């Protein structure tokens, strides 16, 4: 955790997550302590079954701990209702996935507008915000192209624009370059890094690739549901 007077934006206190019961119980997380400061870029790594994806689901309010406490901006999420967690997700978090998750026959700008529809914003305001987000990710001129008319890298840029159109405090990226070639992966990671560096967005990214993790300022490694190591990345800029 970075030093400073502000509390961490994300904090796990002895977080455990168990799936199933009895002999079939799987301890996905086993008493994890983790603190992430606002403005950090953290890569989460680990082998399959290490708990990294479970940790991301908890951070993203897509699941709840079995035990322990998850605090967001100092507020325990255990105190929040399902609707309140949904509102937190919509107003504070942005999500980018390996598979892009774009609507196939919908234009780029319409895809980016989706989170704003959930907020109930007027159409004109949604369109203006979506166009701005697409410019921020370098897709000016491609706003009215459908997914089929865009390359994989461009589709991921649309997905990133959709994630940042709501001005989230935290961007959660799950294997964001998993379906991309090396050159495009570098371009996407430069974009994500600039959002962290210039916009101050906290970035938490799951990856299994060391060269992608090197873009982060800190690497947290999970093994068997526990944090095995947590250290600054010496190669990170």
pLDDT of residue 124: 96
211, part of any domain = yes
CA 223/CA 133 separation, integer angstroms: 37
Q: What DSSP line would sit under 129-187, residue for residue?
A: HHHHHHHHTT-TT-TT-BGGGS-HHHHHHHHHHHHHTT--SEEEEESTTTTS-HHHHHH
25, part of any domain = no
pLDDT of residue 237: 38
Residue-wise pLDDT tens for the chain (237 aa)? 444 456 799 999 999 999 998 888 999 999 999 999 999 999 999 999 999 999 999 999 999 999 999 999 999 998 888 899 988 998 899 999 888 889 989 999 999 999 999 888 999 999 999 999 999 999 999 999 999 999 999 999 999 999 999 999 999 999 999 889 999 999 999 999 999 999 999 999 999 999 999 999 999 999 999 999 998 865 443
16, part of any domain = no
**String of b and e for 152-161 (b: at least 16 CB within 10 Å)?**
bbbbbbbbbb
73, part of any domain = no
CA 18/CA 58 separation, integer angstroms: 12
Can you give the CATH number for the domain in which 125 is found?
3.40.50.300
CA 113/CA 162 separation, integer angstroms: 7
181, part of any domain = yes
Cα dihedral sign, 21-35-61-82: positive
Angle subtended by helix axes 123-136 and 108-118, to nearest 10: 120
Long-range CB contacts (within 8 A, 24+) of 208-216: 208/45, 208/175, 209/177, 212/43, 212/177, 212/185, 213/43, 213/45, 215/41, 215/43, 215/189, 216/41, 216/42, 216/43
Structural domain tally of the chain? 1
By DSSP bridging, strand 93-97 and strand 170-174 are parallel
pLDDT of residue 119: 86
33, part of any domain = no
Query: Which residue in 69, 50, 150, 66 sits closest to 110, CA to CA?
Result: 150
31, part of any domain = no
pTM for the model stands at: 0.91
Q: Which two tokens stand for residue 141?
A: 């001129």
CA 200/CA 123 separation, integer angstroms: 28
CB 38 within 8 A of CB 169: yes
By DSSP bridging, strand 10-19 and strand 26-36 are antiparallel
The residue range of the domain holding 151 is 38-52+79-232
pLDDT of residue 4: 47
pLDDT of residue 5: 52
What are the CA-CA distances from residue 237 to residues 43, 75, 194, 217 (Å)?
A: 14, 31, 11, 7
Query: Which residue in 82, 73, 104 sits closest to 6, CA to CA?
Result: 73
6, part of any domain = no
Tens digits of per-residue pLDDT, 13-30? Answer: 999 999 998 888 999 999
């Amino acid at each position: 955790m970075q030093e400073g007077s502000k509390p961490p934006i994300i904090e796990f206190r002895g977080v455990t997550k168990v799936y199933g019961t009895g002999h079939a119980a799987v301890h996905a997380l086993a008493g994890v302590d983790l603190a992430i400061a606002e403005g950090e870029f953290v890569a989460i790594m680990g082998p399959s079954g290490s708990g990294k994806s479970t940790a991301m689901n908890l951070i993203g309010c897509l699941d709840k701990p079995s035990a322990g406490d998850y605090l967001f901006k100092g507020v325990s999420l255990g105190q929040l209702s399902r609707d309140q967690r949904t509102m937190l997700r919509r107003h504070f978090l942005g999500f980018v996935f390996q598979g892009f998750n774009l609507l196939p026959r919908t234009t780029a700008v319409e895809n980016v507008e989706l989170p704003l529809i959930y907020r109930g914003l007027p159409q004109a305001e949604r369109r203006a915000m979506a166009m701005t987000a697409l410019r921020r990710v370098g897709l000016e001129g491609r706003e009215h192209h459908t997914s089929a008319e865009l390359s994989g890298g461009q589709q991921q840029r649309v997905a990133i624009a959709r994630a940042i159109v709501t001005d989230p405090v935290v961007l959660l990226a799950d294997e964001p370059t998993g379906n991309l070639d090396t050159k495009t992966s570098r371009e996407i990671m430069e974009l994500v890094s600039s959002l962290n560096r210039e916009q101050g967005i906290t970035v938490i990214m799951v990856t299994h690739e060391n060269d992608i993790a090197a873009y982060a300022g800190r690497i947290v490694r999970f093994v068997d549901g526990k944090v095995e190591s947590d250290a600054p990345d010496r190669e990170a800029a």
